[in-house]
Structure 1
Amino acid sequence: MRSLALGLHAYWLDSQPYDAKLWDRKTMRHVLLAVDGSPASDQAVRLLAHLPHRDRLELTILTVIEPVYIHGSYAATEMIEQVNSHARELAEATHANVCEKFDGANVLIHHEYRQGNIGETIVQAAKELNVDLVVVGATGRSQLSRVLLGSVSDHVATHAPCSVLVVRPSGLEDSPRPIRVCLGYEGGEPAKRAIAEIGEIPWTSGTEFHVVSIVTYLLGVYGELIHDEQSVKQHDEDLKESKLQLSDVASDIRTHLIESEHRGESLVSFAEKNGIDLMVVGETPRGNLSRFLLGSTSRYVLRHSPCSVWISRGINTSRRSEQVSQSEMASS
């Protein structure tokens, strides 16, 4: 399994001003991988293992079991115990499978077993463990998650305090070809954080990297769509800057400027036509009530994209500052 034992590495930006000290130190990243033994969960494991990393990775494997409530006799209680026992056995088997996938990689693995609502419990664990990234499959074992993405994956992507990678199968895992990555780039702060974050992954040679910028039309007096030449020029400059930023980590970078009425639809369409494996979109870190909604583009891409989606949200400031302090103490 060493061919998959690559792991994940990413630095995370904060909404605060750039701090070179936080970036120049090599620190361990902490990823929370939510698994349930389903095919979608296995896809998440395989994609995570497929992504390269430079430094040591701390990986927490989280299994969440929804409580079974049956009111009645002793037989009902015994049935619940049997269900819980089976769930724990499945969790241990899944944990062993993940460890096998990362055999030989520079990864420190922990295992957490919790009970509760799946989406809420994953988000709570992300907060308590102070992780940098949550990885989940697009669907899971629960009946609700089979009906809509707007259950576990959507809840985690909306409420997690950190970046979230929602994994869908794209055929990459069963193919020798390099990964195809698309970054939706709009030139604003969320996009800049996303490009810096994804740019810290040492992509292997051959990685097909697309940077797509969507220029929306102006709306005329009578509702007609008007070409915005000034906006086109600005987006073109942003694309040139993004290509320069990624040039150290990816050799095959292709930029695309698309004029459209809807950013989300255009990104999804691009992913479909180009066989993209991973779509990356920047999302403004949110607080309080505003975190109950993803931005319109992020939400649309998350729910309609045919591939995996990385919602880039930014750095975990408290964790990063703590790691830098520990590193400075160790070197003094």
Structure 2
Amino acid sequence: MRVLAAVDRSAYSSYALDCLKRMPCHDEVDLLLVTVSPRVPEYDLSGTMFAMDAASVMQREIEAIQESLNAMAAFARNEFRSIETLSPIGPPGHEIVRLAREKRVDLVLMGATGHSALARVLLGSVSDYVATHADCSTLVVRPQGNQLPDPNIASPAPSRILIAISNAECDVDLAAWIAQLDLSPSTEIHLVYVQQILHFYDQELFHQASKYRQDLRPIAVETIETIKEDLQSKGFTTHTKTIESNHIGHGIVEYAEQQKCDLIITGDQRETLIQRLLLGSNSRHVLRHAHCSVLISRTSVTAGVGDQADKVASG
């Protein structure tokens, strides 16, 4: 599996990388360590007409970043199958998405730096941009309780995982991440289907919507039972839940918080970038409001890298 880890000098990115190192599948990961440096503008200082030498500043910054990346790579050299480092210049979100596409990675890994409710809902964050624009799956690691991670305390592997079922063809692929991450059978898995409550003033529309919801529920239940049987056959403790909520994303986040889940796996069925940019996306809502890590799955984890690239190109 090819993983792009977007890192900086923060404790959050170190925590995310530590989480990856503790995954049982870490020795099968080809890791791309990336630190993006925003471009330094040229301007006069205090009206002195002395222009900052932007090229010189950027060169020194890139050298410092590369030194930091080399040290990080040397420290983790034995943890992964291979490690490559890159230090591009430009808007961080844009550069991460560009490299993920060019390097044909399977997963982008980032640490969530926003630990307050306000920070999570602000548009423009790097994690929000990447999760919205990336063609591949994205894992945003958030420490439990949103507390600043202690670098002296090892990050635990996920112990309670919520898989959000959406009645889509890719739902089975969500469960495939359990095998891909090679998680311990002691991991507790919750299969959750949130049925949205629809409100209509027009009674005829209300009855049509009610009939539509009644038709969807058996399909969701069948999907959940199929996935449950597969996971239980592998030794996982699996729980199922069908709930109703005015907003699907809110229902997922609320249930995850109640069950103290430390990872949510959700799909993103929006096929085009324009669709993904629309506010109200359930996956974006979960990413912004969840108190735990979030994995947004966009491509089949069972497909080869070349197959995924072909799928992206044809889409």
Q: TM-score, normalised by structure 1?
A: 0.75
User: Using the alignment, how far apart are the partners of 1:76 and 1:60 within structure 2?
Assistant: 36
**3-state secondary structure, aligned to 1:213:** strand
Deviations 1:239-295 (A, max 9, x none): 111112323545221111212222110111112122211111011263454443477
Alignment coverage as a number of residue pairs: 291
Q: Whole-Å Cα distance in 2 between the matches of residues 318 and 178 of structure 1?
A: 25
Q: Which amino acid aligns with 1:129?
A: K
Tell me which residue corresponds to 1:26.
none
Distance 2:248 2:214 in 1: 17
- Which stretches in structure 2 are left out of the alignment for 5+ residues? 310-315
Q: Which structure 1 segments of 5+ residues have no match?
A: 1-28, 324-332
Question: Judging changes above 3 Å, is the alpha-carbon distance between structure 1 residues 218 and 160 closer, same or farther for their aligned structure 2 residues?
Answer: closer
Which secondary structure does the structure 1 equivalent of 2:226 belong to? helix
**1:129 and 2:103 aligned:** yes
What residue is the counterpart of 1:269 in the other structure? 254
Question: Of residues 4, 24, 30 in structure 2, which corresponds to 1:52?
Answer: 24
CA distance in 1, matches of 2:304, 2:28: 19
Determine if the alignment matches structure 1 residue 235 to structure 2 residue 225.
no
Supply the distance in 2 between the matched residues of 1:322 and 1:284 (Cα, whole angstroms).
15
Q: TM-score, normalised by structure 2?
A: 0.78
Aligned counterpart in structure 2 of residue 120 of structure 1, from 94, 108, 121: 94
Match of 1:68 in 2: 40
Identity of aligned residues (%): 34
For residues 99 and 74 of structure 1, the distance between their equivalents in structure 2, rounded to whole angstroms, comes to 43
1:115–1:126 distance in 2 versus 1, CA, 3 Å: same
Q: Distance in 2 between matches of 1:80 and 1:245?
A: 56
Match of residue 312 from structure 2: none
Q: Please state whether the residue corresponding to 1:71 is helix, strand or coil.
A: coil
Deviation at 1:115, TM superposition (A): 0.3
2:104 & 2:184 partners in 1: Cα distance?
Answer: 29
Question: Within 5 A, what are the aligned runs for 1:216-227?
Answer: 216-219=196-199, 221=202
Q: Which residue of 1 aligns with 2:67?
A: 92
Contact 2:120 2:289 in 1 (8 A): no
Aligned residue number for residue 271 of structure 2? 286
Which residue does 2:181 correspond to in 1?
A: 201
CA distance in 2, matches of 1:288, 1:186: 20
Alignment match of 1:212 (pick from 172, 188, 192) = 192
CA RMSD in angstroms comes to 3.4
Distance in 2 (CA, whole Å) between partners of 1:95 and 1:179 is: 32
Give the conservation status (yes or no) of the 8 Å contact 2:133–2:273: no
